[in-house]
A and B are shown apart, each in its own frame.
Chain A
C-alpha cells in the first residue's frame, strides 16, 4: 500500500508537484499517467526519499520510506534503468543489491532467470546493454527482495512488444498475489491494458483518479462528419453541449454530451452526412490527456473547425 498525502514540491519559480493525494492499494495495479514533465518522476522520487518534499508526505506500507529498516525487502524501486555504474556487470549490480539486503547469493541467479537475462548477458558491463536489457535488470533489482510494493517509473520504455507483454503479465501476477504496483507512463494505451486504477497528473496536479472502468466509462458520443460546422450549429440549436474532439487526430470529430441516438436524430434533421457515430468509450480520458499534453507537446493540434 502506498499513501500520498497533500504532497507538494516547489522549486525556485515553479511547483513541480502540487498538493497531490492518492492511494495505491494492495492487489491492484495503479497507473500513474501524465505527459512528460507532469511531475510523475518527482512524486516517485519523493516517495522513496530521494527528493525532499516541500510539504505533505508519502508512506509506503504504513511508514515513511526512510523509516523502513531494510527498504529493499519491502519496496521494489525502479526509477531510471540507466542510472547504474556503466562499468559494472549486470550480475555485479544485482550482487551489490543482494548483499545490501542481506539475501542469499542464489537469489541473484533466480532473478536473472526471472527477467530472462542469460548468463552471458549478465556477465557483460551495463554500458553495453540496450535500454530493454537495462529495464530487465532494473526490474530484477526491484524484485530481488520479494517486496510487497513495487514503484516503477516508465518500466516499459525500451522494451520490445514481447517484453511489454512479459512485463504486463509479471505485474498482473504480482498484483494478483496481493502486491501493490504503482507504475508510471506517459502513454495512455500502455497504462490502459494493465492498470486497475488510474491517477492522471498534469502540470503537477492530479486531474483525475479512480478505477479504470469509472474513468473510461465517461458518457457521451463521438461523431465524425465532413460537415462538422453545420452539425455544430444544429447541436447548438438543439441545446446539446459538445466539444471538438482531438481524439481521432483529425479535425472532423465532435464529442457530444448526449447518447448516439440523440446525435443521430439531430444530424438527420439537419441533413448532415455522418461517417462515424459511436459511444465515446475512453474518449473522454483520451481527450483530457491530449489537453494536458497540448501545452507541452511540440506538435500542435488544430482546433476543430466547428468551434
Chain B
C-alpha cells in the first residue's frame, strides 16, 4: 500500500512539472460513454430491455390471438411495431432530458464543454439503438411467423418487402428523432414525454377533425400534417415521389426547425 501511494505522489509531482497539452477527446469516445450511460441505470436498462420484452410479448399475442388466415409476417411486424413506436422515442427523450432532470449535465458538460458534441453523440447512440432494436424486432417477428405458421399448420406468408422494412425502420427512426428533438427543446423528462404524446396523438386528431370540417385544409393536410406524411411510410405500398416530398417538407417544419431552435438553446443556456 505504501509503495502505491508513494508512486502516486511521485507521478503527480512529475505531472505537475512537465505537462504537455492533452489530446482532444475524440467523438468516438463520447459516443461510447453515452452508450454506456443509456443502460447503466436500472431505469435505462429496463427501458432498453423492454424493447426485447415487448417484441416477444407482441409476437406471442399474435400467435395466440390472430386468426390463422392472418398469421402473416405483416401481422407480426404490425403487432411489434406498435410498442416500438412508443418505447423508442422514450429512450431518445430520456437520453437527453436526464442530463437536466437528474442534473448529471453539470459533470457531463464540464468534462466535455462543447455541448454540441455530447448532443451529437447522444443522437448517434439513439439512432443506433433504434436501428438495432428494429432489426431485433423484425427477427423476433420472423421467428414468430415461422413458429406461428407451424403451430397453426398454415403456409408461411412473407408479405413484407425489403422496401417495407426500410420504410418501417425509417418511420421509427423519425419518431425517435421527434422524441430527441422534444428532449433537446424542452429539457425536462416529464414535459418532453407529454409533448411527445401531444405531438403524436393529439395533433393528428386535431388535423383530422380540421380536414373533415374544412375543405381547404383537406388538400393542404399532406403538406402540413407530419404524422400524415409519416403514415405513408407504413401503409405497405412504396412511397411516391410526391409522398417523399411531403415527408421532406413536413420534416423541415416539425422536426428540423424545432431541433435547430432547441440546439441553439442548449448551447447557450445555463446548466444548473
Contact = CB atoms under 8 A, between A and B. Distances in A.
Answer yes or no: do A and B interact: yes
A114 B11 CA distance: 15
Contacts, number: 112
A34 B52 CA distance: 53
Q: Which of the four size classes fits the interface of chain B?
A: 35 or more
Nearest to B118: A100
Dominant secondary structure at the A interface:
loop
Interface stretch (A63-71, A244-252, A269-277): A63-71
Contact of B102 (A73, A77, A84, A92): A84
Given A52-B270, A84-B103, A100 B33 contact: yes
A141 B107 contact: yes
Contacts of B109: 49-50
Contacts of B15: 146
Interface string A146-190: 101000000000000000000000000000011100000000000
Nearest to B43: A87
B12 interface: yes
Contact of B41 (A50, A73, A79, A85): A85
B25 A50 contact: no
Contact of B107 (A52, A75, A84): A84
B12 A146 contact: yes
Nearest to B13: A177
Contacts of B2: none
B32 A71 contact: no
A71 B37 CA distance: 20
A68 B104 contact: no
Contacts of B8: 110, 114
A87 B113 contact: no
Contacts of B107: 77, 83-84, 93, 97, 141
Interface string B35-52: 011001111100000000
Interface stretch (B16-24, B65-73, B205-213): B16-24
Interface residues of A, number: 43
Interface in A81-97: 82-88, 92-93, 95-97
B19 A148 contact: yes
A88 B40 contact: yes
B54 to A, nearest CB: 21
A8 to B, nearest CB: 15
B110 interface: yes
A18 interface: no
B271 interface: yes
A96 B110 contact: no
A49 B16 contact: no
Given A77-B110, A100-B33, A102-B25, A87 B41 contact: yes
Contacts of A114: 8
A48 interface: yes
Given A82-B103, A146-B15, A68 B113 contact: yes
B157 interface: no
Contact of B111 (A66, A71, A87, A95): A71
A50 B32 CA distance: 23
A71 B268 contact: no
A9 to B, nearest CB: 9
Given A70-B22, A96-B36, A100-B29, A83 B106 contact: yes
Given A49-B110, A100-B111, 6 more contacts: A51-B270, A77-B107, A79-B106, A84-B107, A88-B41, A97-B111
Which 3 pairs from chain A and chain B are nearest by CB?
A87-B41, A83-B103, A69-B24
12 contacts: A50-B106, A50-B272, A51-B271, A69-B22, A69-B23, A71-B111, A71-B112, A83-B106, A96-B37, A99-B29, A102-B23, A146-B11
